[in-house]
Amino acid sequence: MIDINIIRKTPDIVRENIKKKFQDHKLPLVDQVIELDNQVRVLKQEGDNLRAMRNSLSSQIGALMKEKKIDEANEIKATVVKNNERIAEIEEQVATLDAEIKKIMMTIPNIIADDVPIGENDTKNVEVQRFGEAVKPGYEIPYNADILESFNGLDKESAGRTSGNGFYFLLGDAARLHEAMIAYARDYMISKGFTYAIPPFMIRSDVVTGVMSFAEMDAMMYKIEGEDLYLIGTSEHSMIGRFKDQIIKEDELPITLTSYSPCFRKEGGAHGLEERGIYRVHQFEKQEMIVICKPEDHMDWYNKMWQYTVDVFRNLDIPVRQLECCSGDLADLKVKSCDIEAWSPRQQKYFEVGSCSTLGDAQARRLGIRMKGKEGTSYVYTLNNTVLASPRGLIALLENNYNEDGSISIPKALQPYMGGKTKIEPIKK
């Protein structure tokens, strides 16, 4: 949610930003906010005038009563009563208008960074740089489900019986490798000075609407029936929500946290081959990082954060690239975002394995997260980034470490988490 002063002082900037986001249907919202805000200001001025008059009249009543001018005092008392009634009406009207303004403001997209590429959707995202050589081996790389099944590592049939489409059982070395990747990502972030956290996996609606747009909420979140609780789509939701309505001392910033959680999402669009594999699923696990910092530091942290993800994947012998997200691909709260994509030797293309975003003070405004310094209080900036999410990370590891004999080489970084194993061999039948 942007600062309403931006709409008051520079509405054309807000309108231009909406156009850059290809959300022209939201352009009328700017004028609606301006009109409602003007109504609030007029009402508040009237209320202030009535309160000042009430104070003046109240002092007159005391003087008149001392002079035994009872009738005149009673007339003024009647005026005070009417003023109080009108003040109460004004306060109710202002509260209603403020709620309406907030509702509209929460649908107006955040102001994007000046260097964000302009484009309507993710096909216009821009490759920035590559890390590691994207190798095409001289032998075929099987589909991820086939690789996993070759060492009895995947059971989607049983998951279909227990939970439905989009769920899976990982077994044996596959499950162990999956957890090894998450554990390595956790320890890597701890080595960078981040504090490890395990958050609640369910959050209330006021936290959901504080950390994401309504469109994202409807598309992603699972609601617990009969409860004001949602399953988290990422631990960022809980981790940022932890600071709701808090005032943080400026000298305690930045706050750097890395969190583990399962994640639950209404993934749509799974068809054909993807229904058999583990690329598009409703449940996965992720190591996340969040940073809460002063406004002037957010871009330094943004660049550190996505680089950490690159380093983790390169340490797992996985080539990756950084992709700058265009304006139309940015969720409404984001100022700037980039995706980290891993190389798929099977498909001969890159696919998304993580995303890094700075949201400016949008989440902080929604959740009331402020910092207190020598010059008073102000809103903090928030950032989030995927360190590693599996099973997508697992797919990247399997494909890039697949050998012609069907075995999987375990990267050195993961071997301590795998009991010293250097390979996973297919099971002979």
Q: Is the peptide bond before 254 cis (omega within 30 degrees of 0)?
A: yes
Helix (H) or strand (E) holding 234: none
Higher pLDDT pick, 224 / 220: 224
Specify the pLDDT at position 165: 87
Percent of the chain with pLDDT over 70: 96
* Burial status of residue 161 (CB atoms within 10 A of its CB: 0-12, 13-18, 19 or more): exposed
Locate tokens 């340490």: which residue?
Answer: 315
State how far the alpha carbon of 373 is from the alpha carbons of 64, 237, 249, 333, 336, in Å: 49, 26, 6, 25, 26
Tell me the per-residue pLDDT of 283-329, one tens digit each, with 9 for 90 and over: 999 999 999 999 999 999 999 999 999 999 999 999 999 999 999 99
Specify the pLDDT at position 55: 79
Least confident of 99-108, 147-156, 213-222: 213-222
User: What is the mean predicted confidence (pLDDT) over 93-116?
Assistant: 95
Specify the pLDDT at position 266: 86
Question: What is the Cβ-side half-sphere exposure of residue 115, based on CA atoms within 13 angstroms?
Answer: 6
Which CATH number, 3.30.1330.60, 1.10.1660.10, 2.40.70.10, 3.30.930.10, labels domain 122-424? 3.30.930.10
Is the pLDDT assigned to residue 272 strictly greater than 60? no
Question: What is the Cβ-side half-sphere exposure of residue 370, based on CA atoms within 13 angstroms?
Answer: 10
Specify the pLDDT at position 111: 97
Do the beta carbons of residue 317 and residue 92 sit within 8 Å?
no
Is the pLDDT assigned to residue 59 strictly greater than 90? no
Q: Specify the CATH superfamily of domain 4-105.
A: Serine-tRNA synthetase, tRNA binding domain (1.10.287.40)
pLDDT bucket at 214, cuts 50 / 70 / 90: confident
Locate tokens 């100022």: which residue?
Answer: 335
Reading phi first (left if > 0) and then psi (alpha if -120 to 50, else beta), residue 145 is in alpha
CATH 3.30.930.10 in the chain, residue ranges: 122-424
Is the pLDDT assigned to residue 69 strictly greater than 80? no
Is the pLDDT assigned to residue 270 strictly greater than 50? no
Strand 349-358 versus strand 283-293 pairing type: unpaired
- Tokens for 429? 């039948």
User: What is the mean predicted confidence (pLDDT) over 56-85?
Assistant: 77
CATH 1.10.287.40 in the chain, residue ranges: 4-105
Contacts of 3 (CB under 8 A, 6+ apart): 361, 365
Specify the pLDDT at position 62: 67
User: What is the mean predicted confidence (pLDDT) over 403-429?
Assistant: 93
pLDDT bucket at 77, cuts 50 / 70 / 90: confident
Tell me the per-residue pLDDT of 154-189, one tens digit each, with 9 for 90 and over: 999 999 899 988 899 999 999 999 999 999 999 999
pLDDT bucket at 429, cuts 50 / 70 / 90: very low
User: What is the mean predicted confidence (pLDDT) over 218-223?
Assistant: 86
State the DSSP string of 382-419. Answer: EEEEEEEEETHHHHHHHHHTB-TTS-EEPPTTTGGGGT
Specify the pLDDT at position 71: 74
Least confident of 112-121, 273-282, 385-394: 273-282
Helix (H, G, I), strand (E, B) or coil at 378: strand
Beta strands in 33-78 (DSSP E): none
Question: Can you tell me the distance from the alpha carbon of 60 to that of 76, in angstroms, rounded to the nearest whole number?
Answer: 8
